[in-house]
């Protein structure tokens, strides 16, 4: 009993990995497990309007980004629909209007693929939910994450809240390569309200896409040891998440960020996504931490921007530090204040 027409909207957040996913196998299976903080403020809102159509031979959709038609996103969506079709066999039966917008500024250098693919997966899956009596919400979330993964790997970590594990790791019950799950072991409260202030060092498009970067891990001279390293860091984080040891947290998280970029610098061809101000910020954070003993650290995505991570209890001091010392390294002085959030929501 699939609906003839309907409308649904979801807001899905971005996420920031603590242990990084870099390298993948066929079908968006990660080469190593990862764990991330779900964010709150950085999110995508997607509204899906749909109606059944006569001609079921092909996909049919219109796409609007921030109110305007967006032709250049269409191939990516089309690829996504093809990949998920066998799990949502009704996709060719509808015409879709997809209207999407981000809470963070356009071309801020913040990737919207995680939040965008998560929001779209949730909307498309909602049609199945409409047609199913008593669908279990756990199943719904798992399937949404599974579908989102096929759009963009890290998107599978944008369905659930605060700390999300993706990828099989021994000792983490229910961990799987197929979708993200709430971190299954004990998590100290300090991590449930962690802050992430994103310093926008470079707002333009990055020079090498993550798809290309992931592929360069095939045949990479350090790939095998990097994948083991990710498992070692996840294992070490287990105790840290439970006991709230911030010094150990910092050691692991900063090492993960630099290792991600070290993989890029040692790929063939090699490339660098950090910029001089990325390093200026890292050095300033290290100096400040040494001087004040405040447990603030950084992590990096596949780009030049810096995520400044710190416990909520130090937010006043760290924001003052950012305003006086770090803002000079941000493009047009721009940064985004975010914190750990609760996952995607129907709106």
Instruction: Rule CB under 6 A: choose which of 8, 12, 21, 63 binds ligand PMV.
Output: 21
- Rounded CA separation 76/72 (Å): 8
**DSSP letters along 177-234, please?**
SSSEEE--S---GGGGG-EEEEE-S--S--SS-HHHHHHTTTT-TTHHHHHHHHHHHH
CB of 321 to ligand PMV, least distance (A): 25
- Rounded CA separation 260/18 (Å): 11
- Which of positions 83-122 make contact with ligand PMV (CB under 6 A)? 111, 113
SS3 label, residue 334:
coil
Of 122 and 260, CB closest to ligand PMV: 260
CB of 193 to ligand PMV, least distance (A): 21
**Applying CB under 6 A, which part among 19-27, 46-54, 234-242, 332-340 lies near ligand PMV?**
19-27
**Applying CB under 6 A, which part among 42-50, 118-126, 150-158, 225-233 lies near ligand PMV?**
150-158
Exposed / middle / buried, residue 196 (Cβ in 10 Å: 0-12, 13-18, 19+): buried
Judged by CB under 6 A, does residue 153 bind ligand PMV? yes
CB of 34 to ligand PMV, least distance (A): 4
- Rounded CA separation 105/169 (Å): 35
Sign of CA dihedral 150, 151, 153, 156: negative
Judged by CB under 6 A, does residue 23 bind ligand PMV? no
**Applying CB under 6 A, which part among 15-23, 57-65, 99-107, 169-177 lies near ligand PMV?**
15-23
Contact pattern for ligand PMV over residues 220 through 259, marking x by CB under 6 A: ----------------------------------------
- The counts of H helices and E strands in the chain are 8, 14
Alpha-carbon distances, residue 140 vs 9, 41, 158 (angstroms):
15, 23, 14
- Which of positions 27-46 make contact with ligand PMV (CB under 6 A)? 34
**Applying CB under 6 A, which part among 16-24, 88-96, 133-141, 338-346 lies near ligand PMV?**
16-24
Judged by CB under 6 A, does residue 278 bind ligand PMV? no
Nearest to 337 by CA among 104, 13, 69: 104
Say which residues have a Cβ less than 8 Å from residue 320's Cβ, sequence separation at least 6. none
Distance of CA 272 to the CA centre of its chain: 21
Judged by CB under 6 A, does residue 14 bind ligand PMV? no
**Applying CB under 6 A, which part among 20-28, 91-99, 234-242, 326-334 lies near ligand PMV?**
20-28
Where does this chain bind ligand PMV (CB under 6 A)? 17, 20-22, 34, 111, 113, 152-154, 210, 214, 260, 301-302
């Amino acid at each position: 009993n699939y609906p003839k027409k309907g409308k649904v909207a979801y807001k899905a957040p971005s996420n920031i990995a603590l242990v990084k996913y870099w390298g993948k196998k066929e079908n968006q299976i990660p080469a190593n497990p990862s764990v991330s903080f779900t964010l709150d403020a950085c999110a995508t809102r997607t509204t899906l309007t749909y109606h059944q159509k006569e001609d079921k031979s092909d996909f049919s959709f219109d796409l609007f980004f921030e109110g305007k038609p967006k032709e250049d996103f269409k191939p990516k969506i089309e690829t996504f629909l093809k990949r998920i079709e066998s799990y949502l066999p009704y996709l060719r039966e509808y015409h879709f209007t997809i209207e999407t917008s981000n809470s963070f500024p356009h071309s801020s250098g913040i990737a919207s693929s995680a939040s965008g693919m998560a929001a779209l997966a949730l909307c498309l899956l909602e049609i199945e939910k409409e047609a199913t009596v008593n669908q279990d919400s756990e199943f719904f979330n798992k399937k949404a994450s599974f579908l989102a993964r096929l759009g963009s790997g890290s998107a599978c970590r944008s369905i659930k809240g605060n700390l999300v594990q993706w990828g099989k790791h021994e000792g983490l019950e229910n961990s799987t390569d197929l979708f993200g799950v709430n971190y299954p072991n004990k998590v100290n409260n300090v991590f449930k309200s962690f802050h992430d202030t994103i310093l926008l060092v470079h707002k333009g498009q990055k020079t090498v896409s993550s798809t290309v970067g992931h592929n360069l891990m095939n045949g990479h001279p350090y790939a095998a040891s990097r994948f083991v390293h990710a498992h070692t860091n996840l294992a070490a984080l287990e105790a840290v998440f439970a006991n709230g040891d911030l010094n150990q947290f910092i050691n692991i998280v900063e090492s993960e960020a630099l290792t991600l970029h070290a993989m890029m610098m040692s790929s063939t061809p090699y490339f660098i996504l950090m910029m001089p101000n990325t390093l200026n910020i890292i050095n300033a954070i290290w100096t400040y931490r040494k001087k004040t003993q405040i447990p603030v650290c950084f992590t990096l995505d596949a780009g030049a921007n810096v995520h400044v991570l710190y416990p909520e209890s130090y937010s006043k001091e760290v924001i003052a530090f950012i305003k006086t010392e770090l803002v000079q390294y941000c493009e047009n002085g721009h940064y985004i204040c975010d914190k750990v959030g609760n996952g995607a929501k129907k709106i």
